[in-house]
Structures are given as C-alpha cells and as structure tokens.
Structure 1
C-alpha cells in the first residue's frame, strides 16, 4: 500500500514507468487475493448462517419449544407475521420478535400421515442397530470376564 502511494506521489520518468507498473500490478494481485480470502473465510460462512437462521425462523410453528436470545425457554403458542407468542410458565405468555428466537430446541411431533411415510425408513434404520453380546463367563471360576484396555504410564 505504501509502494502504491509512493508510486503515485513521485513524478514518473520514462525509465521508471515500467518498474512502477510491475509494482502496481503485484499490489493489485495482493489486494485481490486478500479480498478472495476474506470472502471465503468471513463473508460466505456468514451468508450461510444467515440463510439457515432465516429458514429456521420461517419454520417455527405452534408447539415448538424454543430458546430466545436472552435465554428464555418456552413453547410457541401462536405465530404471527413478525412475532411469536411464547408460553413461558402456566399463566405467563410473552410476545417476542421472530428475530429474538435463538434456536428451536424440540419440534412438535409430526402428524400421523407423515410419520407413516417415514416409518419404513425408520424400521430399516432400526435393523442396522449393532447387536451387543452378553459378557463372557470364565468356566473355571464362574466369574464374569471383563476386558480392559492396557494401562499406559504418562
């Protein structure tokens, strides 16, 4: 950056023109690389988080358990266009701006018709559960054998 300022401040002669052009080109390439790095490390992930938050806020429905940005836990009682009514206690209801909802802790159960469609997929997933055998017993002492990992000195 200093080289760019010094190149602009000094009068150019015919011999120095080619040297300052090369210096300016490396400066522009450096700034371009910095902008690309900032985009991939800061701007792009922030846009992704913003999109996920927007999708989460638009999917809030009655019965969802939510947490506000202030740490207040409650259950959604009503969803309006820009606000959400949250039941905090038996007789306490609070109205929050949708943007004040930090996350959804627990979603309300899906209707029966939707759960039937997913039932087949869940049963296949249940079949993939790893089976664990009972602990082995030593025949001579009739005691349960427990395998332990060797201890290492640190």
Structure 2
C-alpha cells in the first residue's frame, strides 16, 4: 500500500508530461522527413522561406532573393506544402460549380 501513491504519481507524470512530448517529437520527425522542394517553411529562429533544395542533412531556403543553408532539423513547421492548392483557389473552384 505504500507504493500506491508513488505509482499513481508516476502514471500521472507519464500521461501529462512524457507521452505528449513523445507525440510532438514524432510529429516533428515526420514533418521533417516529408519536406520537399517548394514547401514554404518557418525555421526555429523564425525565418520564413521556400525550400530551394534539400538533402539528408541540409535544406537551402530562398528568402527574399537570398539563399540560406540550414540543417534540416532547424525547420520548425511547414506553412504550405508545394503541391497543396491555394485555399483561395479552392474557394473559387467551389463557387464556380
């Protein structure tokens, strides 16, 4: 019976802290693995750009006419995938039908 509060504490700790962090890490790895040329991205430093080229380790971003090289894991999020249609274009297509 002495270990029951400790087990409850460990379970709460796991479900509130460890498991959500593992999910975020997995999602970030999947996002970084799916990067491709033409994707609009944001780096961990807040720089926004379009991927000009990408390999296993590095990504070259076009930012305002300049090309900057970043490590692939420095990309925080994708704003728009290269093959994804514009939201405005989708709305226009629906209104035309």
Q: Give the TM-score normalised by structure 1.
A: 0.53
Task: Give the structure 1 partner of residue 69 of structure 2.
Answer: 95
- In the TM superposition, 1:134-145 aligns within 5 A as none
**Alignment of 1:35 onto 2:10:** yes
Task: Give the structure 2 partner of residue 85 of structure 1.
Answer: 60
Could you tell me how far apart the structure 2 residues matched to 1:54 and 1:78 are?
19
Task: Give the structure 1 partner of residue 20 of structure 2.
Answer: 45
**Alignment of 1:65 onto 2:15:** no
Q: What residue ranges of structure 2 are gaps of 5+ in the alignment?
A: 85-89
**Structure 1 outlier segments of 4+, above 2 Å:** none
Corresponding pairs, count: 87
Task: Give the structure 2 partner of residue 107 of structure 1.
Answer: 81
Deviation at 1:109, TM superposition (A): 2.1
Higher RCO (C-alpha under 8 Å, 6+ residues apart): 2
Deviation at 1:85, TM superposition (A): 0.6
Could you tell me how far apart the structure 1 residues matched to 2:55 and 2:36 are?
10
RMSD of aligned C-alpha atoms?
A: 1.7
User: Whose radius of gyration is greater, 1 or 2?
Assistant: 1
Deviation at 1:82, TM superposition (A): 1.3
| CA distances 1:53-101 after superposition (whole Å, capped 9, x unpaired) | 00000000000000111110100011110111101121x1111111111
Bigger proportion of residues as strand? 2
